[in-house]
Amino acid sequence: MTKPLTRRTVLNLASTGVAAAAFPAPFVPASTRAASADPIQIGVPTAQTAQAGVADHQDYLNGTTLALEEINAAGGVLGRELKAVAVDVDPLSPESGQVAINKLIDAKVHAMSCAFVFTPVPVAEVSARYKAPFLWGLTQRNMTDLVAKDRDKYSHIFQTDPSEVHYGYTFPLFLKAMRDQGAWKPLNNGVHIVQEQIAYNQTISKALQAALPKSDFKLAGITDIQYPVQDWGSVIQEIKKIGAGAVMIDHWVAAEYAAFVKQYSADPLKGALVYLQYGPSQPEFLELSGPAAEGFVWSTVLGVYADEKGSAFRAKYKKRFPGIMGLCYTGSGYDATYYLKAAWEAVGDPAKFQEVCDWIRKTPYRGVCGYMSMNNPYQECAHYPDTGDAIGARDLEQGMAQLYFQVQNNDHKIVYPDVLKESALRKAPWW
């Protein structure tokens, strides 16, 4: 049996350059090994040597690997084995992204599947020359806006999660729900945004600023931070000075979030609800934070549900990859692989790129991370709950749910939306 891929293994393998040959192939029993010697290949750009994105990309590769092992053990797809072709990519470098895609084109992969990059347009430009279906959990409306404007050029690109704008749009809905349920008694109706400078975080901040005037809450202040954040002391003093009832830390680095919660827990604004945008999803957050993480809230527009389907996946994943499980890109890599499997089987030939893309566009798929429906101008997953966005969904089984978690007893528990929650919001230690 193949040993679990650890992050350390990935980094060690990266020194060989293109890592496709170095990654262990999923085990396929002889009795079910695909008859064809020509495997169906999924190209997986994976951050191995970069400073950013390694945790999420490793999660994505792990989820992909688990799906490949299951599919191959059951006989493959169309009588052929599935194979991952993993290449190194730096999510912050447009040049690295272009090199990675060109390597996959040279390898003649049948599809591409990726967690994300922060500079998607150059990557999309290169992939458009090849047109193999490209599924990624990009979470960026600036890219899906381009897809909507030029559907012919980008007809092969699918964003397998809702865009980052929903982090801003949905935050007031979450605050209202917690207040109305009596789980949180706000100090006031102010919201303080602590914002990073990359485009992703700026888009979230602008979306929240646009949503607040239409809600029960108002903007109390904005504080700028710049990656890497060396010391959170001045930020915490600003939080206490402004004194807002809710604080959004609009950042993205798990290790720096861990440093924040340790410092904040020692000198908090009593009674404030503190929300950490997405980063706590990465396993390092709990590893580094320890007990200081208790009570903090975070969310993701792409997360593994805790329903029957999601719980079964969580159990399988933890058995295959022991340790703290990331709850976002693990399920995304798994779902994307099964989505491609369904498309290939429906079309009958993975080399028919346009037909496969047409099938994905028109045919929704319900995975462990929820309902994936990309038959819209953006070719991105519809979001639940509907927040007034052009592709919002009012029914859970018509969109992908944004999951709000709270750290409770060193574990992540879904507290919103109500239809998926595992636990009620608890009083944070500093309340």
Instruction: Report the number of distinct structural domains present in the chain.
Output: 2
Q: What are the helix (H) ranges across 248-378? A: 254-266, 283-289, 308-320, 329-347, 353-362
The percentage of residues in the chain with a pLDDT greater than 90, rounded to a whole number, is 85
Answer yes or no: do 172 and 267 share one domain: yes
Residue 391 lies in a domain: no
Nearest of 282, 369, 278, 304 to residue 58 by alpha carbon: 282
> Cα separation of 284 and 267, whole Å?
23
> Cα separation of 344 and 159, whole Å?
18
Answer yes or no: do 180 and 278 share one domain: yes
pLDDT digits (tens, 9 = 90+) for 95-153: 999 999 999 999 999 999 999 999 999 999 999 999 999 999 999 999 999 999 999 99
pLDDT value, residue 37: 63
Residue 70 lies in a domain: yes
Q: Which amino acid is at 121?
A: V
pLDDT value, residue 8: 33
Q: How far is CA 199 from the centre of its chain?
A: 17
Mean pLDDT confidence for 350-359: 98
Residue 222 lies in a domain: yes
DSSP states of 145-214: HHHHH-TTTTTTEEESS--THHHHHHHHHHHHHHHHTTS---SSSEEEEEE-SSHHHHHHHHHHHHHGGG
Sign of CA dihedral 213, 204, 126, 114: negative
Is the per-residue pLDDT at 32 higher than 60?
no
Residue 395 lies in a domain: no
pLDDT value, residue 390: 80
Answer yes or no: do 315 and 239 share one domain: no
Answer yes or no: do 173 and 228 share one domain: yes
Name the β-bridge partners of 371: 366
pLDDT digits (tens, 9 = 90+) for 139-193: 999 999 999 999 999 999 999 999 999 999 999 999 999 999 999 999 999 999 9
Nearest of 173, 217, 215 to residue 193 by alpha carbon: 217
| Cβ contacts of 220 within 8 Å, gap of 6 or more | 188, 190, 191, 192, 242, 243, 244
For 160, the 3-state DSSP assignment is coil
Q: Which amino acid is at 175?
A: L
pLDDT value, residue 52: 81
Name the β-bridge partners of 30: none
Q: What is the CATH number of the domain that holds 115?
A: 3.40.50.2300
Answer yes or no: do 268 and 375 share one domain: no
Answer yes or no: do 217 and 365 share one domain: no
Answer yes or no: do 28 and 150 share one domain: yes
Degrees to nearest 5, angle at CA 373 with 372 and 375:
150
Answer yes or no: do 354 and 374 share one domain: yes
Answer yes or no: do 18 and 127 share one domain: yes
Residue 49 lies in a domain: yes
Answer yes or no: do 281 and 379 share one domain: no
Structure token pair of residue 7: 């992050």
pLDDT class of 218 with cuts at 50, 70, 90: very high
Mean pLDDT confidence for 371-379: 96
Q: Which domain holds residue 246?
A: 165-300+402-420
Residues 139 and 332 sit within 8 Å (Cβ to Cβ): no
Answer yes or no: do 294 and 314 share one domain: no
CA distance to 17, 156, 176, per residue, from 246 (Å): 46, 40, 11
Answer yes or no: do 282 and 320 share one domain: no
Residue 390 lies in a domain: no
Is the per-residue pLDDT at 15 higher than 70?
no
pTM exceeds 0.95, yes or no = no
Residue 1 lies in a domain: no
Residue 191 lies in a domain: yes
pLDDT value, residue 22: 35
Poorest-confidence range of 1-5, 38-42, 213-217, 369-373? 1-5
